[in-house]
A and B are shown apart, each in its own frame.
Chain A
């Protein structure tokens, strides 16, 4: 059960779009439509932003979207805002009743 691979950091200017990747294997990301994404501000509890690859919970801005191709899932944030600056984590079902998180990506809004 190795952690999913995310870039350590990404950055973008207000108004721009950024994409955070989450690479797993054919045993986790590639086998199930069960990737979720979480936003975590410093000292705060993680907030669910995307579930089941591309579904957005009620109350989450439509600037956030999820997608997947093969063993790599992606979170795209459009119209970047200062408040989007946070850590982002992906999570995938990994089979045999287990789940695995990514290492996390720090998003900096320039």
Chain B
């Protein structure tokens, strides 16, 4: 069965970077885009960007341009999201979500989420 398993919670200081992992199993990793979405405490979902695991091509929301980097390692079916120059308002749950259909909309399969806390 399809599973997306993310890395554990992180606590970071302002200005630091965080790298969240999303390990896929149960399907061909390179066959589906991967979205990254975050949700601040008590707030809504926010699309951060996506990666084509086959080509490594990425596209990011304008808000995160210059601070986010999405990569993948096809040998271990894992996607990564790194966010740099962290601020307190980056405190959120970060989730990966597999893209579906011909348009790769964020679909049925999501990771369990990784809580990133930014605090001095």
Contact = CB atoms under 8 A, between A and B. Distances in A.
A101 interface: yes
Contact of B113 (A32, A45, A91, A99): A45
Interface string A34-53: 10101010000110100110
Given A36-B106, A46-B45, A104-B44, A1 B112 contact: no
Given A3-B44, A36-B106, A45-B95, A97 B59 contact: yes
A87 B111 CA distance: 18
Interface residues of A, number: 26
A91 B61 contact: no
B103 A102 contact: no
A51 B105 contact: yes
Query: Which of B45, B63, B97 gathers most chain A CB within 10 Å?
Result: B45
Contacts of A32: 103
Interface string A78-89: 000000000101
Contact of A52 (B63, B105, B108, B113): B105
A103 interface: yes
Interface in B65-119: 95, 97, 100-101, 103, 105-108, 110-113
Contacts of B28: none
A97 B105 CA distance: 11
Interface residues of B, number: 24
Contacts of B46: 3, 101
B47 interface: yes
Nearest to A6: B44
B62 interface: yes
Contacts of A51: 100-101, 105, 107
A93 interface: yes
Interface of B: 35, 37, 44-47, 50, 59, 61-63, 95, 97, 100-101, 103, 105-108, 110-113
Interface of A: 1, 3, 32, 34, 36, 38, 40, 45-46, 48, 51-52, 57, 87, 89, 91, 93, 96-104
